């Protein structure tokens, strides 16, 4: 016969989730800023800007939806659009440039597009500019955030070198999170490695 082990631990398991372990978070701890002092002063201006940006973003989304429903590629270049409008910029100037694999240097075809962008943006100086940087899917998510930022910065630097004021242009990276084309071939990857100039 085998003796049963009498040493059995008895204890209470706390309900899960365990609120006891919730760390007390000091609300409004704010975080720390690095970078220039203007950042703080510009806060209220920024808020106002944000409101405008939101309104413009809504318009942009509407425009985009219209463009999508028409199937972007099918829009003839000669469509009459108001000169100086975002649609004008997209259709008659071109809002994006493409990059080689894992590269962030502006290609000759991209330079031509950016030269046209710079001329147009100088003429219509009422827009704030955000450059989006994007990557194809064949990199890791985190590295691609950084690569997208590098691409957006390359576009920004090119436009600044053409005489656009640096404080008009912001950058944002979407890494590989927002492809232009769904596909896993060179054609799709080539179109997803891009810098897009967006206007607000």
Partner 1 sequence: MMQLRHLRTLLCAGVLAALAVPAHAQLTIDMTKPSFEPVPIAIVDFSGDAVGAQIAEVIRNDLQNSGLFRSIPSSAFIQRTVDSNAAPRFADWRGVGAQGLVVGQMTNVGGNIKVDFRLWDVVVGQQAAGLSFNSQPNNWRRLGHIISDAIYKRVTGEEGYFDTRVAYVSESGPLTSRVKRIAIMDQDGANNRYITDGRTLAVTPRFSPTLQEIVYMAYGEGPTPPKVYLQNVDSGQRQLLGNFPGMSFAPRFSPDGSRVAMSLSEGGRTSLYEMSVRGGGPRRLTTSTAIDTSPSYSNDGTQIVFNSDRGGTQQLYVMSSGGGGEKRISFGDGRYATPVWSPRGDYIAFTKIMPGSFGIGIMRPDGSGERVLANGYLVEGPTWAPNGRVLMYFEQQPNGAGRAGSVTLHSIDITGRFGRQVPTPTDASDPAWSPLIPQ
Positions touching partner 1 (CB under 8 A) are 1-2, 4-5, 7-23, 25-26, 29-36, 39, 50, 53-54, 57, 104, 130, 132, 137-143, 145-147, 149-150, 152-154, 157, 170, 172-173, 177-184, 188, 198, 200
| Closer residue to partner 1, CB minimum distance, 91 or 130 | 130
| C-alpha dist (Å) from residue 123 to 49, 108, 113, 119, 191 | 21, 23, 16, 6, 28
Neighbours of 86 (CB within 10 A): 20
Q: CA-to-CA distance for 145 and 153, rounded, in angstroms?
A: 12
Q: Smallest gap, in angstroms, from Cβ of residue 165 to partner 1?
A: 16
- Cα(76)–Cα(73) distance, integer angstroms: 8
End-to-end CA distance of the chain: 83
* Nearer of residues 47 and 77 to partner 1, judged by Cβ: 47
Query: 80-86: which pairs have CB atoms within 8 A and are 24 or more residues apart?
Result: 84/123, 84/124, 86/59, 86/60, 86/127, 86/199
Q: Which is nearer to partner 1, 13 or 77 (CB)?
A: 13
């Amino acid at each position: 016969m085998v003796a049963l082990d009498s040493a059995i631990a008895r204890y209470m398991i706390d309900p899960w989730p365990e609120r006891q372990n919730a760390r007390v978070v000091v609300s409004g701890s704010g975080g720390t800023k690095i970078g220039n002092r203007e950042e703080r002063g510009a806060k209220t201006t920024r808020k106002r800007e944000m409101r405008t940006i939101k309104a413009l973003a809504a318009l942009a989304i509407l425009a985009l939806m219209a463009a999508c429903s028409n199937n972007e590629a099918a829009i003839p270049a000669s469509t009459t659009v108001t000169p100086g409008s975002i649609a004008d910029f997209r259709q008659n100037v071109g809002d994006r440039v493409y990059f080689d694999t894992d590269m962030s240097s502006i290609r000759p075809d991209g330079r031509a597009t950016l030269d046209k962008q710079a001329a147009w943006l100088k003429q219509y100086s009422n827009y704030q500019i955000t450059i989006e940087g994007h990557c194809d899917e064949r990199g890791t998510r985190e590295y691609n955030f950084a690569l997208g930022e590098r691409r957006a910065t390359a576009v920004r630097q090119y436009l600044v070198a053409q005489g656009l004021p640096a404080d008009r242009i912001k950058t944002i990276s979407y890494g590989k999170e927002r492809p232009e084309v769904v596909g896993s071939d060179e054609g799709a990857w080539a179109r997803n490695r891009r810098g897009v100039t967006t206007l607000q």
